[in-house]
Every structure is written in structure tokens, then in C-alpha cells.
A = this chain, B = another copy of it.
């Protein structure tokens, strides 16, 4: 008998029939003797509907009032699931974030959890009840409703598991685990039984949208055993996210291939190679609220250097425009770029202790005639920017080159 926190996302509770399915799954775990705390997202589409209502009133909705409005989405699903469980003869009780209470700071629409009061939930669990908690929301010290930002329900689940010292936090989603890469691109992609937190963080930040990145950080920080499972399959153990490499386990050097189509490359050519130049270029970009991903600056020649970075494809034109103003100011020669690119990355804690991973990657791409435009590395990741037309090919050949189609 264990204490399990289960989190179900928006598609898992998208209709009343699906909510009934979730209730049956929860009932199955309950019948096995487990204590259960269930964290829910809003029904899929509901949060967007509420945001659209708000934007119909204010183009930039007031953050406090937006939280009042969007937090109702989860409040509806927790009530519905509690009813569905009662209909199965199982005692259950729903809690809003404020009722728990999940105390956050006052940063509306992107609040951070500060503490969780577990007293009421424990009393319910001891009385044999299933506890149902609205994800994504909390309450600040003044009693204002706050939300954790998009995907915040994962974070709610992990934070509740940490507060309750749960044996496991299960994240139910529309995929049945973490794969070596996207199976839609490489049909031979294999589901990983385990992945380390560090790898998961890199995979998540690189566009494998299985888990919200903050929830993974949170799980690592508070030592929460985290598992990703499918809410649409009855069987399967999903992927367990682990804290450390198992020294006894023979793991492949590379755990997965991540990629991101939504990148555009910007180059500022021939800028003076002097301190402060990066800030002078990126400051105005940040001021324009444009997210920057990879940043590369090479050693300069002749007192000048080329400065490159990537932004989301949709921000390409706007970034060029921002930089046209900056270019003269910083003394650059020209600004150009390319929005027909993509990013492909290999991720694995194994590469720390293995030399030659980078050269295998670059050779594999070269053999297919794929030109590498930019390279960026971290301790457990190597990312390259290539022409977007090569994305599928690059992912496929790297998947094979690192033996990921052989993962058991």
C-alpha cells in the first residue's frame, strides 16, 4: 500500500466520459489498497475559452482578475471527478488551491508555490477518501487566487507529492512515456523505462513536451519519484524519471534525440569585438519580449566578430526589425538570418564519461550531406542547427547511429 499522487491533463478530462474513465482508473488503484491524491487540469479547450472571454474585455487582461477567471476551469473538473467517484461508491472530496491551501507568492499568472498545508488532505486520506485537488492554482498570503502558468498542473502534482512525501507522482498524459525520439519521425523510436532528471530537463526544454520543465526541476529538488504514463492505455509502466544514473545499469551513451522546428537563426555580422556587445544586441531583443534560445559568438578576427542566436520562427521578422535599429548603433556590418532552420540535439548523461560522442554526431550528419550551421553544447547535450528540410533525416540517422533503435 502506497501513497500515490496522480495528475491528469486536459485531454484526459476533456469530456464527461473521459472523466468517468479517470474515475475507473482511480478506483482500480484504490481497490489495490493505495491512498490517492488526484490533481486535475481544466477540460481541454476550457482555459483557452476563458482567456478569450477575458481578452474580449481587455487586450492585456489584468493578471489578478485573469487568475480569478481561469482558475474556474480546474474547479469544474475537480467537482466532476469527485461526483464520478461517488457514483462508483468511492468517497472523495475536492479541493481548490485555496482550500488546500497551496500558498504561493503573488506573481499572478506565473506564481510559485511556497508551501502546502497537508493537514486536511491527510485527514481525508486517513478517513479512506480520495483527495482531488485543482491543479495550476494556489492562493497568496492575502487570499488572492493565483495560477502557476501554463502546464502548472504538473508542478502542482509534484509539489503535492513532495508535501505529502508520496511514494510516487504519476503524470498521466496522452503519450505513454518518454521515447528515444518522436515516434512520428522515427517509427523505431523506443519507450525509455527510465530517464534521469537532467536528461528529462534537456529533453523537455528541447521541445519534447511530455512534462512541464518546472515540474521536473521541482521533482529533482524535492526527491519526488516521477512517472509518466498514458491515460488512454490500461497497461504499461510508463517512464520513470530517476535522480541518478544507475551505476549497475548498462545504459546507452545517448538517451534520446530531441528536436525543435520552431527556430529561426539571426546573424549580426561584423560587430566590434569588445565587451558589452552581446548585451547591446540582445538587450533590445529582450525588451521587445522576444525569447532567445541558442546564442553563439565566435572568437573575433580583425577586431570584429559575428554574433548569432535563434528565436521562435514567428518572431523572425520582428527580431530583424529590432536589430536594424541596433546595428548602426553597435557598428555592425549587416543583419541577416534564416527562418528555414531547425534544431536537433542528442541528450544523455552517458556522454559525460564518453569521448567521441560529438565526433560521431558530426560524422553521421556529414555522411548524409547535412551541413551544420551552428553548434552549442552542454555537459549532457549537443545541439546543432541545420536546414529544416533535413530534420527528419538527421533525427533518423542519429537515432540509428547511437543505437537507440536497439533500446530494450
Q: Which residues of A contact B (CB under 8 A)?
A: 16, 19-20, 50, 53-54, 56-58, 61-62, 64-66, 68-69, 71-72, 75-76, 78-80, 82-84, 86-87, 93-94, 96, 98-99, 143, 145
Q: Which residues of B contact A64 (CB under 8 A)?
A: 82, 93
Per assembly, the copies of the chain total 2
Cβ A57 vs Cβ B84 within 8 A = yes
CA distance A64 to B91 in the complex (A): 12
Give the residue of B50, B57, B79, B145 whose beta carbon is less than 8 angstroms from that of A69: B79
CA distance A20 to B96 in the complex (A): 29
Cβ B86 vs Cβ A58 within 8 A = yes
Nearest-neighbor residue (CB-CB) of A71 within chain B = B75
Give the residue of B58, B76, B83, B145 whose beta carbon is less than 8 angstroms from that of A83: B58
CA distance A257 to B82 in the complex (A): 47
Q: Do A69 and B62 contact each other (CB < 8 Å), given the known contacts A20-B57, A54-B83? A: no
CA distance A143 to B86 in the complex (A): 21
CA distance A103 to B227 in the complex (A): 41
Q: Do A65 and B79 contact each other (CB < 8 Å), given the known contacts A16-B57, A58-B86, A99-B143? A: yes
Cβ A66 vs Cβ B54 within 8 A = no
Q: Which residues of B contact A87 (CB under 8 A)?
A: 57-58
CA distance A152 to B11 in the complex (A): 34
- Shortest CB-to-CB span from A83 to chain B, Å, is 4
Does more than half of chain A's interface fall in helix, strand or loop, or is it mixed? Answer: helix
Q: Which residues of B contact A61 (CB under 8 A)?
A: 83
CA distance A143 to B123 in the complex (A): 15
CA distance A143 to B121 in the complex (A): 13
CA distance A78 to B143 in the complex (A): 16
Nearest-neighbor residue (CB-CB) of A49 within chain B = B76
Give the residue of B68, B71, B83 whose beta carbon is less than 8 angstroms from that of A57: B83
Q: Which residues of B contact A69 (CB under 8 A)?
A: 75-76, 79-80
Nearest-neighbor residue (CB-CB) of A143 within chain B = B99
Nearest-neighbor residue (CB-CB) of A78 within chain B = B68
- Shortest CB-to-CB span from A85 to chain B, Å, is 10
Q: Which residues of B contact A62 (CB under 8 A)?
A: 82-83, 86
Give the residue of B16, B65, B82 whose beta carbon is less than 8 angstroms from that of A82: B65
Beyond contacts A57-B80, A62-B86, A69-B76: 6 other A-B pairs, Cβ-Cβ < 8 A, are: A58-B87, A62-B82, A62-B83, A66-B83, A68-B79, A69-B80
CA distance A359 to B53 in the complex (A): 57
Q: Do A54 and B68 contact each other (CB < 8 Å), given the known contacts A62-B86, A99-B143? A: no
Q: Which residues of B contact A78 (CB under 8 A)?
A: 68
- Shortest CB-to-CB span from A69 to chain B, Å, is 4
- Shortest CB-to-CB span from A130 to chain B, Å, is 12
Cβ B65 vs Cβ A83 within 8 A = yes
Q: Which residues of B contact A145 (CB under 8 A)?
A: 96
Cβ B76 vs Cβ A75 within 8 A = no
